Amino acid sequence: MVRSSALNPFARIMSALLVGMALSVLCMPHAFANKAHKKFKGKIIVSEKRFPSRFKTDEAMIKHMKKANTHVVKAEAGKDWEFEYMAFLRKPVGTIQASVMLLDITNPGTETMVDNFTFYPEDKSLKIINGHQRLSRERFQADRKYLMVFARGYGQKPLAKTQIVLRDK
């Protein structure tokens, strides 16, 4: 019988290395997200296609976001506009109830609130948040420009934003 206190130095070193490797693998997605967060901080990336659930490297994430990002969202005539978004917040969300606002900015100098919905983040410390959005034809119109704002609440300073134009295919 071998006791743990009787393990030779080689076994102790190997055990420490395995634990260290396991911890580094668990932390890797967060390490990769740091570079992407710095690159896109304060922006919302909009895509008509779903985002991958994981990226091999931070560079792969940045490359994908640049390629996927669109400011024109298209829908078949008569159907609602749908898209995926990933918000790279300026600061951690800091709340368990955030707000996403959509304002019509088609006419310069006028901003008209069209929709505001509540978003419930899993964790207050998140800096990157993704979601799916459907914009109904009852509230939104084709060939109009909208400002999408992610904030801690209605009327709060924006943590991330983007502009989109809705079009018919």
Write down the domain spans for the chain. Answer: 8-168
Give the Cβ contact number of residue 2 at 10 Å.
8
User: Is residue 53 very low, low, confident or very high in pLDDT (cuts 50, 70, 90)?
Assistant: confident
* pLDDT surpasses 70 at 159: yes
pLDDT of residue 4: 45
Distance of CA 93 to the CA centre of its chain: 11
Q: What is the per-residue pLDDT across 141-150, written as a single tens digit (0 to 9) for each?
A: 999 999 999 9
CA distance 42 to 45: 10
The third-level CATH classification (topology) of the domain covering 8-168 is: Immunoglobulin-like (2.60.40)
Instruction: Look at strands 72-75 and 158-168 and give their pairing.
Output: parallel
Q: What pTM did the predictor assign?
A: 0.78
